[in-house]
Chains A and B, each alone.
Chain A
């Protein structure tokens, strides 16, 4: 380990309007170290990374690289020094292919780059078709592309923003092996994650951020997850109430041999999916993104129509031929995987985003919008679900992922649905918000709602669900009793070793 810190920040501050995003941050990152940055949503992690990556410039403070003060006016300055970053909100171009995206950052012939992408994919378990169009990829696959693109730049400092949140357990292991190899080569890694166990396993230093300030510098290996979480949120960790599940009641959602051909070359065909969901239970669908999760969610929500009406039943009615609105009228609500674009319109205010699905809550009067009702509903949602935002007029696109997710989930819950589909409920959401979201879903279950959760996070599914299915290559496993199965068994289904 070198004497000088590779990267040193001294009293760095950044303010946006009235929000002090970072306040006098000191940070040292050494070569050959994996340094964790911990913090809740809005704690200033993203801002800090933007300052280091040259996306934004600090108002006050100094940044030193190898002991020399540097001024990072733009990301290319940071890249030139050897700083690479994998973003939480991906910076991929959806209408381009994987290899085209990579070639925008890395010089080289298409065929060579495609080969390099395939090689890295094999090496690190980041498999992705180099010629696939990005808009056809699942969230998980997109992140793999981001990581590959960054590694191809051979950075000296690699910033990873919530990198493991979408990887299956097997790939997390392999990613960690990769990161350790890179560490052994002398690379410095800034690792932002809300998965405390991972930080304890992987990182040798942790800086804890709270309210834009560094509140602690610890060796995470010497702390347990609970005390780390406490440092991060400044209070005791809330417990998820594992209330005894009530006896499931009437059937709310049923899939009968649901099959659907893939829409494109890179899509997944669904084959003969059977599923039953009763009131008062949460059923989980585990599996790695890209195995038909998007297709299944679109079919259940009504975005894609099923081939036969009887393939999907909601509240006992055949709905396969109905659109999303008609299904919502039956008491169905949906929290999609993509918050921006499907869950909310980024350019619109929160109030107007409420209107999109909650217009039936007397927000309309003879075709005119009742702004008062719309705002009252939004304000109630913001308060009830602890959404941190200036108010109902805030733009959805300007909010952090966790806050927006709380808002979208709150909006759907406030509709009092009888049956709900929630896709990747806590993807990219920090531990505090994720715990709150899970608790809300359990409350909903206890009130008799039937909830189907599609998630890549196994812990989350085991925590909430009474029954689990695994989706692999468009096939759904039989229902597994959560109390009897194990992560290992689920893992076997996830990689196709069991059917």
Chain B
């Protein structure tokens, strides 16, 4: 398999955990909150999904359990921030650490165990297209659902009343309350959605992308997802593009190592983060130029 084919085949799957977590967080931030606990919520979701699939063999059950547990953790955040008005940065970091700790605890006895991933779907005609057919267009079911989900989310946020309400709550909660919208309920739902998406992201990482349990397997992807929301300026399409870019970069790192590019691996590993910083600089410069 050439480097290009490798990239085409793997990018979507590599991007997926980032995409799901970032889209979830984007919705949370659109309602005016900031949940920094992505890494932890992904980790606990990954652990629960792995355990579930390990014992039952059902990926669907794994995804459902992961979404559920991460929603529960996210609700803890909601109680702290919306309920007792705790500082959201502190609360977010706390539940992040909690999630990481719980995932290590639950995953302890599954260290280095493996399970089977999900089969790639051969779609007739599409998979016959040269080059991209067997690579880009041959993906597992979750990838296709995620693509569909991204489009639906874009549509909801940009074309429906619900999207408008979410934007309104995030921009001016007092005004939204004064015209009669249940701000607390909307934010609760957003936080729950963000949690569930992180759970799904973690589940994909541990049961499909690399179906093997290792402690700390989320490896900072929660933080990258958080940066992606800013990078994508809270717009679905741009966040998705950012996730793809990072998917490519993380695969490019592997490809370059495999091809024996004469660069230290640490340098290649830091590439995605350097690109984040670069992109943030570009975005902020362009924005200040407009005003």
Number of A-B contacts (CB under 8 A): 50
Distance between Cα atoms of A79 and B181 in the complex (Å):
12
Taking residues whose C-beta sits less than 8 angstroms from the other chain, chain A's interface range is: 20 to 34
A104 within 8 A of B: yes
Docked-complex contact A75 and B178, CB < 8 angstroms: yes
B165 within 8 A of A: yes
15 more A-B residue pairs beyond the given contacts A75-B178, A79-B180, with a C-beta to C-beta distance below 8 A: A53-B178, A74-B180, A91-B175, A92-B172, A93-B167, A93-B171, A93-B176, A94-B172, A103-B161, A103-B164, A104-B161, A104-B165, A104-B176, A104-B181, A304-B291
Chain B 271-291: CB-based contact to A (< 8 A → 1; otherwise 0):
000000000000000000011
CB distance from B128 to the nearest CB of A (A): 43
Closest to A105 in B: B179
Docked-complex contact A95 and B174, CB < 8 angstroms: no
Chain B 168-211: CB-based contact to A (< 8 A → 1; otherwise 0):
10011011111111000000000000000000000000000000
Set of chain B residues within 8 Å of A103, measured between Cβ atoms: 161, 164
Docked-complex contact A92 and B175, CB < 8 angstroms: yes
Distance between Cα atoms of A418 and B76 in the complex (Å):
56
Docked-complex contact B178 and A95, CB < 8 angstroms: no
Contact of A76 with B171 at beta-carbon distance under 8 Å, contacts A103-B164, A263-B290 already known: no
Contact of A95 with B291 at beta-carbon distance under 8 Å, contacts A79-B180, A100-B164 already known: no
Interface SS majority for chain A: loop
A356 within 8 A of B: no
CB distance from A304 to the nearest CB of B (A): 8
Set of chain A residues within 8 Å of B167, measured between Cβ atoms: 93, 95-96
Taking residues whose C-beta sits less than 8 angstroms from the other chain, chain B's interface range is: 10 to 19
CB distance from A262 to the nearest CB of B (A): 12
Binding site for A on B (CB under 8 A): 161, 164-165, 167-168, 171-172, 174-181, 290-291
Set of chain B residues within 8 Å of A90, measured between Cβ atoms: 175
Contact residue among A79, A87, A96, A263 (Cβ-Cβ distance under 8 Å from B171): A96
Docked-complex contact A55 and B164, CB < 8 angstroms: no
Docked-complex contact A75 and B179, CB < 8 angstroms: yes
Chain A 75-88: CB-based contact to B (< 8 A → 1; otherwise 0):
11001000000010
Docked-complex contact B180 and A96, CB < 8 angstroms: no
Set of chain B residues within 8 Å of A96, measured between Cβ atoms: 164, 167-168, 171
Set of chain B residues within 8 Å of A94, measured between Cβ atoms: 171-172
Set of chain A residues within 8 Å of B180, measured between Cβ atoms: 74-76, 79, 105
Distance between Cα atoms of A103 and B164 in the complex (Å):
9
Contact residue among B164, B165, B172, B291 (Cβ-Cβ distance under 8 Å from A91): B172
Closest to B163 in A: A100
Set of chain A residues within 8 Å of B165, measured between Cβ atoms: 104
Chain A 51-83: CB-based contact to B (< 8 A → 1; otherwise 0):
001010000000000000000001110010000
Docked-complex contact A55 and B291, CB < 8 angstroms: no
